[in-house]
Chain A
Amino acid sequence: MGPFHAVIIGGGGTGAAVAHDLTLRGMKVTLIERGELTSGTTGRHHGLLHSGARYAVKDKESAVECIEENTILRRIAPGSFELNDGLFVAITDEEVAYSSEFIESCQECGIPVRRLTHTEVLAREPNVNPAIKLGVQVPDATMDAMRMPLRFFATAKHNGATIKPYTEVVDFVRRGNAVSAIRVRDHTSNKEYEIGGDIFINAGGAWSGRIGAMVGVDVPIRPSPGVMLAVYGRLSNMVINRLHASGDGDIIVPQRALSVIGTSSWVVEDPDNLGLPEDHIQMMIHFGSELIPAVRTAKFRAAWSAARPLIGPRGADTGRELSRTFKCFDHIDENVEGFVTITGGKATTLRGMAETTANVVCAKLGLAKPCQTREFVLLPHTAYYV
């Protein structure tokens, strides 16, 4: 008998990292994605490598995950992150008062922080609102949101994984209570065929609820979009955040020769139909210009929506109250064997999500192989194509 065969559904960052992890653990891996790789939420998000500071006060679990993975990703994917750090700025007295709790929470989570005075902030970031009262420097960074995950695909592929973009799952084949194969359609040829396997992993992100429904299991996912606005020019060097409990339009991420302002949050049923509310674009300009006044006059480049895959009960209405952490569901608790879902989380924690998933998969299959992804330096993204 050859190695176990894992079939991953979903070619975003999560699927990429799971493919990499399982390949290193010696499994045969096939990954399918209905469109281009990273064409869902991955690639379309803010491009922020989180330090975790954003979550430190209210969502410590996410914050700790972020700082751990931030450190690991910088080690295994050098060249995928701009070296620019992040800055939280306090404008109102309320935000100044909040800064003590913010700094303490960051320290409790192991996030290095440095408090900067008004003068120090403006010397570093001359475009920031001169009304700011203080700033806190944290190890955020800009990531290349498409190429960083592509490195996981590249490395998995060179280690033997089969990556199939433009291949959509159309049905699940069961033997007893176990998923034994998926039926897929190859959109490059319109041909349908089956892929058999020992374990099937739903890494569909905001689409994971829909994939779960095809198998008849409940994945409590809330696709929660946010609007982002890109303008020409780097209005800051560092990632600029508003120092408050998270809200709309409170972050500006410089990227290449652009600045990206985000974001908002609401909840939709259909992750393929997010829309682009005009009032949210205006909101990005309004709140973004409170951080950096030049946002108001900067030349428009693009506005778009991206759906976070948040885990939460039905009924949540803005998405803000949902945790940003991730979960791996073994659907055996709903009497379906051979099918697990990994969802929630964020780009910064993709490797950790994959480690958790691979641990669940290996435990199910009785495979005693340790995770190797913490130290394994990834191939460059260009290796995916050659």
Chain B
Amino acid sequence: MVERDIDFKVFRYKQGGAAPAYQTFRVRCDENTTVLVALQDIRRDQDGTLIMRHSCHHASCGTCGMRINGREELGCVVKVFDLNTSTVVVEPMRNMPVISDLVVDMGPFYDRFNSAGMPLMRESEFLDEADVAEGLEAYMRCENCIECNLCVSACPIMGTDPTYLGPAALAAAWRVVEEPRGLDAKPLLDWVDSQNGCWRCHVAYECNEACPSGVFPGDKIMSLRRELTKRKFRRLFGR
């Protein structure tokens, strides 16, 4: 297997220490090496104080969101050679407080996301021609959103207006409107129908681009707008 040395220019910051700075590490990579694995190799072999978030290593948990060469990515599914650069720049996500190195504080994300109250399970739409196994009412699966915050990091509005609800929370709200699963969508529609709700989006669709999990938050924001417009018209015409 082909191996190459790649330089990783990594954002470093420790609380109470020096100002944030970049530090470069050289790592031997092969065709299978992901950015996350390279960062772990740095921690093991070169600097045990480098910290990052990670868990599942296959884009199912959403913890290893970071900026790689200026793009929002999950480090676990970006192969280093696919980047085609001899230096890979790795930075924490934007629009979130940095705790240290590549670790951001996810608190503000969950403050907004929890308000949408989206159930975490949905009826599976895969292989829907199949008989359901005895004893089950329907095949239930986990929702697509993995709460990685990449859409929030990529959103140009989030950077200028911290009161904006942001793509992840708005997409979660749409899931409830689209498939209420016994919940009342009305209060959620009222919540997103505001200056800092779905009307704040400038339709840059950076969130769609960044989403690693097929949620397409930008599309969901537009769906919310259509639903609100529809309801306003209905009220206007007394229906």
Contacts and interface: CB of A to CB of B under 8 A. Distances in A.
B77 A301 contact: yes
A319 to B, nearest CB: 19
Contact of B32 (A80, A127, A278, A380): A278
Contact of A124 (B126, B131, B140, B146): B131
A82 B130 contact: no
B110 A386 contact: yes
B107 interface: yes
Nearest to A231: B58
Interface stretch (A37-45, A64-72, A328-336): A37-45
Contacts of A302: 34, 57-59, 76-77
A36 B55 contact: yes
Interface in B10-37: 14-17, 32, 34, 37
Contacts of B103: 36, 166, 188
Contacts of A188: 14-15, 51, 99-100, 103
A238 B134 CA distance: 12
Nearest to A79: B120
Contact of B55 (A38, A191, A236): A38
A237 B59 contact: no
B141 A256 contact: yes
A123 B144 contact: no
A147 interface: yes
B124 interface: yes
Contacts, number: 188
Contact of B58 (A82, A87, A304): A304
B132 interface: yes
Contacts of A39: 53-55, 63
Contacts of A185: 49
Contact of A260 (B16, B58, B214): B58
B69 to A, nearest CB: 19
Interface residue range, chain A? 35 or more
B75 to A, nearest CB: 11
A187 B49 contact: yes
Contact of A137 (B63, B133, B213): B133
B86 to A, nearest CB: 22
Contacts of B89: none
Q: Which of B14, B55, B106, B130 has the most CB of A within 10 A?
A: B55
A212 interface: no
B60 interface: yes
Contacts of A43: 55-56, 61, 63
A297 interface: no
A304 B76 contact: yes
B130 A83 contact: no
Contact of A189 (B14, B32, B60): B14
Given A44-B55, A137-B134, A189 B139 contact: no
Nearest to B134: A114
Interface stretch (A88-96, A138-146, A356-364): A138-146
Contacts of A303: 32
Contacts of A234: 124, 126-127, 141
Given A237-B130, A272-B44, A281-B32, 13 more contacts: A35-B52, A39-B55, A43-B61, A80-B120, A84-B136, A124-B131, A189-B15, A257-B141, A258-B58, A258-B60, A260-B60, A302-B34, A304-B76
The 5 lowest CB-CB distance pairs between A and B, nearest first, are: A43-B55, A302-B58, A234-B126, A304-B57, A146-B61
Interface of B: 1, 14-17, 32, 34, 37, 40, 44, 48-49, 51-61, 63, 76-77, 99-101, 103, 106-107, 109-111, 113-114, 119-121, 124, 126-127, 129-144, 146, 213-214
